C-alpha cells in the first residue's frame, strides 16, 4: 500500500447509500503511452459520472484536477447505479447502467430507448477530451429513430458486473434480479442489440407488462 493514493476523489464522490461511491476504474489500452484512465463514480448529488484522468509521469499517482467528464447520467434513486466500466477486446469502453433504482423499475427506464438507464453502453473514448468526451462507434446497433446511439444492449435491471471471455470475446453480463432470479446473460462477440427482458421478465418468468412484438433474449 503506497503512502500516497493513486487518485483521491474524496471531495467529489457521494456514498450516502450502499450502492453508491467510487465504483470502477478502467485503464485505457494504450495507458503505458497515454497515461489515460477512466473512472465511474457517484457524484455528491447522486448522479453517475464517468470521467477521464491522466496519470502523472511516474505512473504511481494521478492528478484529480486532470478530470474531464465523459458521461453524466441522472439517477432518480440511490440504488441500481450499475457501476462497472471495462474496455472490451475491441478497444471500446463498455458501461453497465442500472435501471435507476427503487424496485420494479417504476419509471420503465430499462425498456425506454431514450434513456441510458437499464442498459449496457458502448462508447469510443480513444480520442476523449473535454471538447469531445466520446464518439459513438459506427457499428453500434440501430435500435430505432428515437433510441440513444450509445446503447449496446437493453432490458437490464442492474448489470453491476460483466466480463469478456479472454479467448472468444463473448460477453457475460451478471444482472441482479428483483425477488427470485439472478441472471447471467450471454452476448456473442461483436453482436449487440439484445433486449434482455427486464421488466417484462425476471429470468424466464413474466414480471410486468406485455412485450408484444419486442424480441427478448432469455438468460
Tell me, yes or no, if the pTM score tops 0.85. Answer: yes
Q: What is the 3-state secondary structure (H, E, C) of 125-154?
A: CCCCCCCCCCECCCCCCCCCCCCCCCEEEE
What averages of pLDDT result for each successive group of 10 residues across the chain (219 residues)? 92 88 96 96 95 94 96 91 94 96 93 97 95 96 93 96 97 94 95 96 95 95
Report phi then psi at 174, rounded to 5.
Answer: -90, 125
Cα(72)–Cα(120) distance, rounded to whole angstroms? 15
Q: What is the pLDDT of residue 1?
A: 85
Euclidean distance between CA atoms 68 and 60, whole angstroms? 20
Under DSSP, is residue 95 helix (H, G, I), strand (E, B) or coil? strand
C-alpha dist (Å) from residue 30 to 35, 37, 54, 158: 7, 9, 12, 29
Amino acid at each position: 500500500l503506497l503512502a500516497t493514493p493513486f487518485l483521491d476523489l474524496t471531495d467529489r464522490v457521494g456514498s450516502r447509500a450502499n450502492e453508491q461511491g467510487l465504483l470502477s476504474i478502467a485503464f485505457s489500452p494504450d495507458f503505458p503511452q497515454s497515461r489515460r484512465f477512466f473512472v465511474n463514480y457517484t457524484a455528491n448529488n447522486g448522479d453517475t459520472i464517468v470521467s477521464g484522468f491522466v496519470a502523472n509521469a511516474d505512473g504511481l499517482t494521478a492528478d484529480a484536477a486532470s478530470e474531464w467528464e465523459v458521461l453524466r447520467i441522472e439517477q432518480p434513486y440511490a440504488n441500481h447505479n450499475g457501476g462497472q466500466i471495462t474496455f472490451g477486446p475491441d478497444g471500446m469502453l463498455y458501461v453497465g447502467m442500472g435501471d435507476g433504482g427503487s424496485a420494479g423499475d417504476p419509471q420503465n427506464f430499462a425498456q425506454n430507448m431514450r434513456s441510458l438507464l437499464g442498459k449496457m453502453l458502448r462508447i469510443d473514448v480513444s480520442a476523449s477530451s473535454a471538447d469531445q468526451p466520446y464518439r459513438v462507434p459506427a457499428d453500434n446497433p440501430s435500435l430505432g429513430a428515437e433510441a440513444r446511439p450509445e446503447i449496446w444492449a437493453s432490458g437490464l435491471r442492474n448489470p453491476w458486473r460483466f466480463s469478456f471471455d479472454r479467448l472468444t470475446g463473448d460477453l457475460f453480463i451478471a444482472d441482479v434480479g428483483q425477488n427470485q432470479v439472478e441472471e447471467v446473460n450471454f452476448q456473442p462477440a461483436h453482436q449487440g442489440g439484445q433486449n434482455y427482458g427486464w421488466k417484462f421478465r425476471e429470468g424466464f418468468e413474466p414480471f410486468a407488462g406485455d412485450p408484444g412484438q419486442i424480441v427478448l433474449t432469455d438468460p
